[in-house]
Amino acid sequence: MPERVMNREDDVLIEQRERCFQGFYRLDRVHLQHRLFAGNMGPTISRELFVRPDAVCVLPYDPQTDSVVLVEQFRIGAMDKSPEPWLLEIVAGLIDTDEQPEEVARREAWEEADLELHELIPIMTYYPSPGGSDERVYLYVGRCSTVGVGGVFGVAEEGEDIRVHVWPLAAALQAVQDGRIDNAASIIALQWLALNKAAVQADWLKL
């Protein structure tokens, strides 16, 4: 017997939505009821919701050298819990205009790493923290050449100070294993590439 699929219209009742803060991001407080698995509507609950644009993350990969491009930058979210809040990550940015996710991937690679991406393979879309945020991430791997890649880039007026690294894929995977790379998008993308490298290389090395 298939499980019952709940839908927003019949199973979630929003009683009130308050805007608590509006800055670069937004914080709402939502008072709602939702249907319980037993079938009846549950009690009213209140939840804070971090409202932000969706994000695009892309792992640049050079199939000729079996290497990836990683970016290093200061992250305020890691400031209180990491001895060094300069994190190694993949290229990323927000969809805060009418751009399509693939356009954002290419633009951010250029801005953050002075890097041109060629073919893009969509890995997945996912919610990084659905218990309190509505953000959805579009995750890709992108073909690039790592010849001459490196340096410090970023959009100065956005306060970006980004150092670009080229690492062998094996070294990046070891950094995941060691906990040096400890952010979700990078871990997912690198592990996906490890699982699918043979197919990706077979496709891209023909180009």
Q: What are phi and psi of 6, to 5 degrees?
A: -85, 150
- Which pLDDT belongs to residue 207? 76
116 catalytic residue (yes or no): no
- Which pLDDT belongs to residue 16? 95
Which residue from 16, 147, 165 is spatially nearest to 87, judged by alpha carbons? 165
Average pLDDT of the chain is 95
Domains of the chain: 8-51 (no CATH), 55-204 (3.90.79.10)
DSSP-assigned letter for residue 150 = -
The 10s digit of each residue's pLDDT in 22-48 is: 998 999 999 999 999 999 999 999 999
137 token code pair: 């991430």
Measured in whole angstroms, how far is the alpha carbon of residue 64 from the centre of its chain?
25
Name the band, by pLDDT with cuts 50, 70 and 90, for residue 121. very high
- Which pLDDT belongs to residue 4? 52
- Which pLDDT belongs to residue 111? 96
- Which pLDDT belongs to residue 6? 60
15 token code pair: 């009683």
The 10s digit of each residue's pLDDT in 37-91 is: 999 999 999 999 999 999 999 999 999 999 999 999 999 999 999 999 999 999 9
Share of the chain above pLDDT 70, in %: 96
Q: Where are the alpha helices (DSSP H) in the chain?
A: 8-11, 101-113, 169-178, 184-204
Annotated catalytic residue, options 3, 9, 157, 158: 158
95 token code pair: 């969809």
Report the alpha-carbon distance of residue 180 to residue 172 in Å, rounded.
Answer: 9
Whose tokens are 């073919």? That residue is 119
For the chain, the C-alpha Rg in angstroms (whole number) is: 20
Report the alpha-carbon distance of residue 123 to residue 58 in Å, rounded.
Answer: 9
Given a contact cutoff of 8 angstroms between Cβ atoms, the answer to whether 135 and 159 are in contact is: no
Given a contact cutoff of 8 angstroms between Cβ atoms, the answer to whether 72 and 84 are in contact is: no
Non-local CB neighbours of 76 within 8 Å, separated by 6+ positions = 85
